[in-house]
Amino acid sequence: MEFTLWDILRNLLLAARWTIVLSLAGFLFGGIAGGGLLVLRLARRKPLRVVARLYIELFQGTPLLMQLFLVFFGLPLIGIDVQPWLAAGLGLTLAASAYLAEIWRGCVDAVPRGQWEASASLAFGYLQQMRFVVIPQALRLAIAPTIGFSVQIIKGTALTSIIGFMEVSKVGTVIDNATFRPFTVYAMVAAIYFILCWPLSRLAKYLESQFHAAHSH
Amino acid sequence: MGAGLDFGWLSEAGYVLAHGVATTILLIAVTTLLGGALSVVAAAARRGTVAWLRGLVAGYVELIRNTPFIVQLFFIFFGLPGIGLRLDAIPAAILAMTINLSAYGTEIVRSGLDAVTAGQREAGLALGLRARTVFLRIVLPQAVRAVYPALTSQIVITMLESAVVSQIAVRDLTYEADLIQSRTFRAFETYAVVTVIYLALSLLLRRVLVAGGRRVLGQGAG
């Protein structure tokens, strides 16, 4: 059977759906878990802060590929029959939560001290300070770097091909093995990632410049 | 859970793991030197007067930063032979890592160069120094000092990403782990140990880079 260029591209685009689904899942669940982690990271009790910090350092200090392997080979040890999509989704979620929590903590830290002091002098409790004063300001700061990080998640999904998840990189390898046209196939795979990531990168950069413009005077 | 964890294989795996660690260190050491140099050259070109060169560097940075490292690696190792450019695994890995690190490094160094005030350059030129001397001796050291922490982080990230080069059969730490687990059937324990080694490597690499930066750039760097 002869593969035309269109056949190659069509199959890659079909596989790109799974790259997108996995990216969205990693971003969504990673965001939820990252929010929980952020709460721990900002907690008043030191042990909670330490646990969150260690979790973040562990995930930021080790390769994503190892994290995926540990989930993929670890879940069966506790009796969970693991499919590549589950390991891929869980691995990315765990990793993304660590990075997002750290990004967001930076945004909370960037809210000026005076905001805390002013709200404390108005007799706000900790939760009220967070809810009404700090979080609203931190959220605005967080938008650009969070969108920027989504690019890292999309690129991270490429590693799930190694544990057998059929996203665009994996399908690229399969097609290459069938067609022996690696130059064309991998160039197309790269182009698909670029088309997914580049607009997000631009958007993040644009929002960042808007934000700086709004605060430069 | 009847099986439990088994680390008995570790006693015989020490040598193999050490070999993998050495390869990973070699890869990141070479990449840091090449990538650092390329970042400076590309950042200078990005701010230079030659329009097409500026465009070329901008395109390179965007292309690399918006595609996954593993695809870049596969393109170099599997794709380039398709047009007659065949590289061995280790050179291909170093090339891919260098190209990847430099794309981020270029942007980092560029922002450092932007942060050095124009007066520094003008003062150097007014003293009769050549433009190249002013750049290398006055502007560049200040720029690198300003962004050194970001460069350090990026180098650590590149080291962690290098786990992927095991996929083109470079015998790095991950590759050795793959071999060990295929013999011992102790995949989880193997990758757990190797993950800890990577964590230690990333902490160590950061320390070495900070210490090296202090030495070369003076106090305050890192």
Provide the pLDDT for residue B81.
Answer: 93
Nearest CB partner across the interface for A73, out of B80, B187, B203: B187
User: Is there a domain that residue B185 lies in?
Assistant: no
Q: Which domains does chain A have, with CATH numbers?
A: 5-212 (1.10.3720.10)
**What pLDDT digit, counting tens, does each position of A101-158 carry?**
999 999 999 999 999 999 999 999 888 998 999 999 999 999 999 999 999 999 999 9
User: Is there a domain that residue B8 lies in?
Assistant: no
- Shortest CA distance from A57: residue in chain B: B199
User: Is there a domain that residue B196 lies in?
Assistant: no
Phi first, then psi, for residue B4 (nearest 5°) are 70, 180
**What pLDDT digit, counting tens, does each position of B64-90 carry?**
999 999 999 999 999 999 889 999 999
pLDDT at A217 over 60: no
**What pLDDT digit, counting tens, does each position of A63-75 carry?**
999 999 999 999 9
Could you give the angle at which helices A182-214 and A168-179 cross, rounded to 10 degrees? 160
User: Is there a domain that residue B77 lies in?
Assistant: yes
Q: How far apart are the first and last CA of chain B?
A: 47
Q: Are B206 and B156 in contact (CB under 8 A)?
A: yes
**What pLDDT digit, counting tens, does each position of A84-105 carry?**
999 999 999 999 999 999 999 9
**What pLDDT digit, counting tens, does each position of B151-181 carry?**
999 999 999 999 999 999 999 999 999 999 9
User: Is there a domain that residue B154 lies in?
Assistant: yes
Instruction: Look up the domain containing B75 and give its range.
Output: 24-169
Give the residue among A113, A131, A98 at the shortest CA–CA distance from A29.
A98
Q: Do B67 and A155 touch (CB under 8 A)?
A: yes
Q: Give A176's Cβ-side CA count (13 Å radius).
A: 23
Determine which of A12, A22, A56, A65 to mutate to test the interface with B (most B C-beta atoms within 10 Å): A65
The interface predicted TM-score of the complex, written ipTM, equals 0.92
Nearest CB partner across the interface for B63, out of A155, A181, A194: A194
| Residue B195 contacts A where some CB pair is shorter than 8 Å | yes
Whole-angstrom distance, CA of residue A180 vs CA of residue B59 = 28
A4: region left, alpha or beta (phi > 0 left; psi from -120 to 50 alpha): beta
| Residue B202 contacts A where some CB pair is shorter than 8 Å | yes
Provide the pLDDT for residue B1.
Answer: 42
Provide the pLDDT for residue B58.
Answer: 97
Region A150-178 average pLDDT = 95
Provide the pLDDT for residue B109.
Answer: 97
Whole-angstrom distance, CA of residue B34 vs CA of residue B31 = 5
Determine which of B1, B180, B188 to mutate to test the interface with A (most A C-beta atoms within 10 Å): B188
Residue A86: Cβ-neighbour burial (10 angstroms; 0-12, 13-18, 19+): middle
Provide the pLDDT for residue B222.
Answer: 52
Determine which of B71, B80, B157, B182 to mutate to test the interface with A (most A C-beta atoms within 10 Å): B71
Whole-angstrom distance, CA of residue B115 vs CA of residue B102 = 19
User: Is there a domain that residue B201 lies in?
Assistant: no
For A3, A152, A185, B32, B145, the CA distances from B149, given in Å and listed in that order, are: 48, 20, 37, 14, 8
Nearest CB partner across the interface for A66, out of B66, B156, B163: B163
Whole-angstrom distance, CA of residue A112 vs CA of residue A37 = 22
For B10, B145, B151, B164, B213, the CA distances from B219, given in Å and listed in that order, are: 41, 9, 16, 35, 8
User: Is there a domain that residue B95 lies in?
Assistant: yes
Q: Do A182 and B191 touch (CB under 8 A)?
A: no
Distance from CA of A51 to the nearest CA of B (A): 17
Distance from CA of B202 to the nearest CA of A (A): 6
Whole-angstrom distance, CA of residue B19 vs CA of residue B16 = 5
SS3 B49: coil
Give the percent of chain A with pLDDT over 70.
98
Based on the structure, what is the number of domains in chain B?
1
Token match 């982690």: residue?
A: A37
Question: How many residues are present in chain A?
Answer: 217
Is the pTM higher than 0.90? The answer reads: yes
**What pLDDT digit, counting tens, does each position of A11-55 carry?**
999 999 999 999 999 999 999 999 999 999 998 899 999 999 999
Look up the CATH number of the domain holding residue B156. Answer: 1.10.3720.10
Q: Do A62 and B160 touch (CB under 8 A)?
A: yes
Output the average pLDDT for chain A.
94
User: Is there a domain that residue B153 lies in?
Assistant: yes
Provide the pLDDT for residue A186.
Answer: 97
